Amino acid sequence: MHMEIFSLTGKRALVTGSSRGLGWEMAKALAGAGAHVVLNGRHEETLRACMAEIEASGGSASVSAFDVVDEEAACGAIDSMVEEFGGIDILINNAGIVHRAELKDFTTEDFTRVIQTNLTSCFYMARHAAGYMTKQKFGRIINIASVLSVLGRPTVPAYVSAKSGLAGLTRGLAVELGPDGVTCNAIAPGYFATELNTALVEDPEFNQFVCDRTPLGRWGEPAELGGAAVFLSSPAGAYINGHLLVIDGGMTIKL
Ligand code: GCO
């Protein structure tokens, strides 16, 4: 029996920060479900290698190299995608950075840089994509939040602020865009063993903390996030709007 409810055939998706880590896994999953995926990162060569891997697996992909902090380039990339492929159906705002430092050492510049990359860019890319999605009365905007949208920990005040804000932005967009058939949801990953977290994985004390704090007793594998992106983008997720889908092995429900 074909699982049409999870099919993305004919859909056109842009995934920011998709040359590695969680973005790459989500891009592969969307392509595997039938979407044409526009891969994004700052380095064209890396993106083309990713595109080749998706094509080698029978999927459809193209590349769009830009830095999400460059609003003109980011919005221009959406325009180019619409021009080349006729529209945009799915936007996954995944690109993000993390900066870790003691509060006394955390500069305003670093704080602003994290907010700009992890929150402000999601706002203007969603606003620009929504301009097209509302006209076609269909769209799926997925913001990649974090368990730090609902929790806090020392040394990452900007990341916690940005990801908390992203959960709020998701609700605001869900309310405003829903009447035009555009949903907006957030995926909140727990601790996944990605390049962003290498320093934490390799820290014996933090690694033990994550394993003890998580009922599944381990870090998430990046490939374990792809299904949620497909689900929220697919017909199966059509009536989900404004939701924060936590994928953390149970971390946030453990006392
Ligand atoms: C940290 C981590 C988090 C991760 C984690 C939560 O410093 O606590 O880098 O920011 O992103 O996976 O989403």
Which one of 124, 132, 159, 191 is the catalytic residue?
159
Rg (CA), the chain: 17
In whole angstroms, what is the distance from residue 197 CA to residue 50 CA? 21
Our mutation pick for probing the ligand 1 site, out of 25, 94, 144, 156, counting the most ligand atoms within 8 A of Cβ, is 156
Tokens found for residue 197: 């977290």
d(CA 17, CA 194): 13
Give me the mean pLDDT over the 101-111 stretch. Answer: 98
CA distance 114 to 119: 8
Report pLDDT digits (tens) over 147-195.
999 999 999 999 999 999 999 999 999 999 999 999 999 999 999 999 9
C-alpha pair distances (Å), 187 with each of 124, 164, 245: 19, 12, 5
pLDDT digits (tens, 9 = 90+) for 78-101: 999 999 999 999 999 999 999 999
Does residue 24 line the site of ligand 1, with CB under 6 A? no
Domain segments of the chain as ranges: 3-195+221-253
pLDDT at residue 2, rounded to an integer: 63
Position 3 scores a pLDDT of 84
**Annotation says 124 is catalytic:** no
Can you identify the CATH homologous superfamily of domain 3-195+221-253?
A: NAD(P)-binding Rossmann-like Domain (3.40.50.720)
